[in-house]
Structures are given as C-alpha cells and as structure tokens.
Amino acid sequence: MQVIRTEIADIKVIKPVIHRHGQKVSSNNMELTPHFVQDNHSLSTNKRIVRGFHFQIPPFSQAKLVRLIAGSIFDVAVDIRWGSPTFGRHVAVELSAAEWNQIWIPEGFAHGFWTLESNTEVLYKVNNYYPAEHDRGLFWNDRSLAIAWPGKASDAILSDKDRVQPMLVELLPYFLYFPPVLRVANSSS
C-alpha cells in the first residue's frame, strides 16, 4: 500500500497494492490507525451529481476513508479548522473503482464530490456515528474556495439540502486547529 501526502498534510491519498492469485501479500505501516464504527454507501445514478460539502460537528465529528466500488468521482476535502495555516484550502483528487485509490479525510474537513460517471457507488468508512443533529454543510461552489470543478455549475445536479449550505465565512468555528507542538504539550497535561 502506498500512502501519498497531499498539499494539506493531514489528507492522504491511498493506493493499495492489488494482489492477484499467486502473489505474495505483505503488510505495510500506513501511518493511520482509525477505529471505524460505520460504513456508508452512496449511489448516484447520474453523472454531474454533487454531494456535499458535508461534515459532522463535535462530539460526533468524523474522519472518513473514501473509496469507490463503481464509477468515478472528483473528490474534494476542504480544511475548516479555524487557525489552521491551510484553512479554506482544499485537496481534490479523482477516485475511481478501476484504480482502487482511496482518500483519507480527517476530522475538521468538509467533504464533497462530483460524479464523473452514471451509477457511481461511493463507500466510506467513518470513525464516529451519525446523529442528524450534528450534521452540517458548506456551500459546494463557494467562490472563496477556488475549486476547479470538472463541469459548469449550471450542469451540477444538487439536492435541496446542498443548494442552501452556508459559505465558508458564515461557518461557526466548529473545529480549532492546534499546531503539532501544542498538541504534544496539551496531551502531556
């Protein structure tokens, strides 16, 4: 398995090694040790469906491991951690069932995607349960995010929920960023 760092260090793209019959299987330290509690499965029957941006707020915030079992998506994670040096920046990758690639999205990031094929199925593992009252969102096409979506906004197919999400400047500070040095100091107290 290959773990690839992205422009935002906390987000990782994961490329598993595909083992065919007769090949030797070996393990690799992935630097990720999540405890998953739930699998979510999303089916998008059309191309150009946009889902997101979604996230859960504390104490039910979620990290996600996203992969596809059919089709392909343009997948995006936006840093919404107040005080982060990458606040408001994003990582975008194309994920596909054919490539078997995945993306790790930690807590403190909003997640969304644009389907590139009909009948796309996204499977994502999460490390916390879903209570509806902790569900929040971010407007998918907020110009301040400067996301180069793979199609025109007028072609996007959106749910009613995703049409009315707040802009980044309207989000409450649900997640606060602590630099790694402060994380170590805070954990020893």
pTM: 0.85
CATH 3.30.750.210 fits 2-15+34-172, yes or no: no
Instruction: Please confirm, yes or no, whether 90 is among the known catalytic residues.
Output: no
User: 4-24 pLDDT, tens per residue?
Assistant: 889 998 999 988 776 555 443
Instruction: Please confirm, yes or no, whether 54 is among the known catalytic residues.
Output: yes
Contacts of 123 (CB under 8 A, 6+ apart): 39, 40, 41, 42, 66, 67, 68, 69
What is the DSSP annotation of 55-117? EE-TTS---EEEEEEESEEEEEEEE-EET-TTTT-EEEEEEETTTT-EEEE-TTEEEEEEESS
User: 171-180 pLDDT, tens per residue?
Assistant: 999 999 998 7
Domain ranges for the chain, please list them. Answer: 2-15+34-172
Catalytic hit among 90, 124, 174, 177: 124
Q: What are phi and psi of 136, to 5 degrees?
A: -140, 175
Catalytic hit among 54, 111, 174, 177: 54
User: 50-83 pLDDT, tens per residue?
Assistant: 999 999 999 999 999 999 999 999 999 999 999 9
Query: Which residues on adjacent β-strands are paired with residue 2?
Result: 15
